Amino acid sequence: MADSRVVLSLRDLVKKYPGVLALDHVSMDFAEGEVHALLGENGAGKSTLIKVIAGAIKPDGGTIGLDGRQYAEMDPHLSRSLGIEVIYQEFNLVPPMSVAENIFLGSRVGGRWLVDFQTVRERAKEILGQFNIVMDPDKPVRELSPAQQRLVEIAKAVSKNVRILIMDEPSAPLSVAEVEHMFEIIKRLKQRGVTVIYISHRLEEVFRISDRVSVMRDGRYIATRVTAETNRKELIRLMVGRDLTESYPRRATAPSEVALEVRHLSGNGVRDISFSVRKGEILGLSGLVGAGRTELAQVIYGAAAAEGGEIRVHGKPVKIKSPADAIRQGIGLLPEDRKEHGLFLEMGVKWNISFPIVRRISRRGLVDTRTEGEIAEKYRERLNIRTPTLEQRVKNLSGGNQQKVVLAKSLAAESDILIFDEPTKGIDVGAKQEFYRLMCELADNGIAIIMISSDMQELLGMSDRIVVLCEGELAGQVGREQFSQDYILDLASGTH
């Protein structure tokens, strides 16, 4: 990249938040027409950095250099007028408005006072055409799939004469084919001289698409490498700060009798699903986004209604109509979105852990706080939950420790069938290892585990068997001896 001109140059950026230095004197350069990947664990400061560049937040120190001019801070309007566009992880579209209107949202097209719908439609068609996106510009955005919405966001960004495009985990909701399509678009943008800053957790993508890659850790800039001259191991080392093998612990005991069996289960968007999981087994549940993995988990857990089929626990058919029924049968769920669905963030660690059993440990309605403290302490030790006190509000814990609190809730409720929905999502590499070890320990103690995951390495590394879903139906069951990424992806995308 020696011959390329530097367009964006960050110097000594500092941003403070309560309890953390989110950016600690970060300096970085971005060249014209390069795809520059930004890597780092959760909390490394990537999101803060892009928000500073976009002007969504103001830094407490440092400068942002653009075309030789220095700025102490940006605001959303200024950054946009300088050609900086950001595609955030969350969608930023107006669901009831059409594709065309969304693309030109915030920019004035045509007349001075009135929206010229004809021109908006024409220009939207033109932009979609440039990138081979087949889409009806009049369709309301809410009727599009997540992948199509992502494409609309890209079209929206490029409609604005973009020079620096920042993409924060853009591939998260996309299937393999859709990611390919997005990469094509990125290549075209690159040819036009657009700088793309690409944030992703998926190392494969970083190697596929980027020219250079920079690593951040704990709010600090660590290093930049030319992608072609580095490897997976080095990047992980830079991210974690030490050598870390992506290894999965082995287990001591073999699965025994069937703990949970579902037969022809339907409802909540899944149809005719049959499988079983044994005590001491980790069953992987694979599928693309929208294949119905989480939906299936919800039906088993009673969080969504079953329309047909049968659930058997330890050989006996059971009726599960609510989460309370499931908990009574010993089924526990660790939801994908732990903050929204798994925790009471404003409440303490102890309060959270004891919540599912608070009635059981009450005498004449009165909570037995001593038993409560003992149970919370037991799981803090067993799961190594790092918190200053058991009264600490859960919102102040790290992602990994929050996830342990969610697990402690289910264990305190004495669940012996646990469904983990994306258990390591948003957890840093070190905490992941710890969590894998915990899961294996649980399996060794005879707990049956169903693990939903989009991380193929994790699925292949942890599971004894993998059940694959495709469009709400069972696409196949794969034993350990047949494990291969390609085979499972084939099943998941329905091409097998």
Partner 1 sequence: MATSPSFLTALSTNAGTLLRKYAPQTVLIGLIVLFTFVSPNFMTVSNLTLMVRQISFATISAVGIMFVMVSGAIDLSIGSQIVLTNIVMAILMVRYHVNPALAILCCLAMGTLLGTLNGVLSVKLGVHPLIITLGTSTIYKGLGYIAADGKNIIGLPESFKVLGQGYLGPVPIPVAIMIVIAIIADFVLMRTYFGRYVFAMGGNAEAARLAGLDIDKMRGVTFAICGFASGITSVLLLSRVFSGQVFTGQGIEFDCLTAALLGGVSFTGGEGTIFGLITGVLIIGVLNNAMQLAGLADFYQNVVKGTVLLVAVGFDMYQRKREAKEAAASVTAK
CA distances from 310 to 187, 286, 326, 332, 454 (A): 49, 21, 13, 18, 27
Q: How many residues bind partner 1 (CB under 8 A)?
A: 33
Could you say whether residue 258 binds partner 1 (CB under 8 A)? no
* Distance, C-alpha 253 to centroid of its chain: 31
Find the part of the chain contacting partner 1 (CB under 8 A) among 34-42, 162-170, 274-282, 319-327.
Answer: 319-327
Find the part of the chain contacting partner 1 (CB under 8 A) among 13-21, 138-146, 153-161, 484-492.
Answer: 13-21
Check if the beta carbon of residue 217 is closer than 8 Å to that of residue 44: yes
Cα torsion through 224, 227, 233, 238, rounded to 10:
10
Q: Are strands 465-470 and 282-286 parallel, antiparallel or unpaired?
A: parallel
Find the part of the chain contacting partner 1 (CB under 8 A) among 30-38, 104-112, 285-293, 321-329.
Answer: 321-329
Could you say whether residue 62 binds partner 1 (CB under 8 A)? no
Find the part of the chain contacting partner 1 (CB under 8 A) among 44-52, 121-129, 142-150, 357-365.
Answer: 357-365
Residue 285, both tokens: 């549940």
Residue 168, both tokens: 């924060």
Nearer Cβ to partner 1 (351/487): 351
Could you say whether residue 18 binds partner 1 (CB under 8 A)? yes
Find the part of the chain contacting partner 1 (CB under 8 A) among 25-33, 64-72, 253-261, 362-370.
Answer: 362-370
CB of 301 to partner 1, least distance (A): 7
Binding string to partner 1 for residues 393 to 432, with x set by CB under 8 A, is what? ----------------x-----------------------
Q: For partner 1, which residue of 322, 445, 484, 485 counts as binding (CB under 8 A)? A: 322
Nearer Cβ to partner 1 (233/319): 319
Check if the beta carbon of residue 412 is closer than 8 Å to that of residue 357: yes
DSSP letter for each residue of 152-206:
HHHHHHHTT--SEEEEESTTTT--HHHHHHHHHHHHHHHHTT-EEEEE-S-HHHH
Q: Rounded CA gap, 354 and 172, in Å?
A: 33
CB of 20 to partner 1, least distance (A): 6
Could you say whether residue 347 binds partner 1 (CB under 8 A)? yes
For 330: left if phi > 0, alpha if psi spans -120 to 50, otherwise beta; the answer is left
Q: Footprint of partner 1 on this chain (CB under 8 A)?
A: 16-21, 301, 303, 322-324, 326-327, 333, 335, 340-347, 351, 355-356, 358-359, 362, 365-367, 409
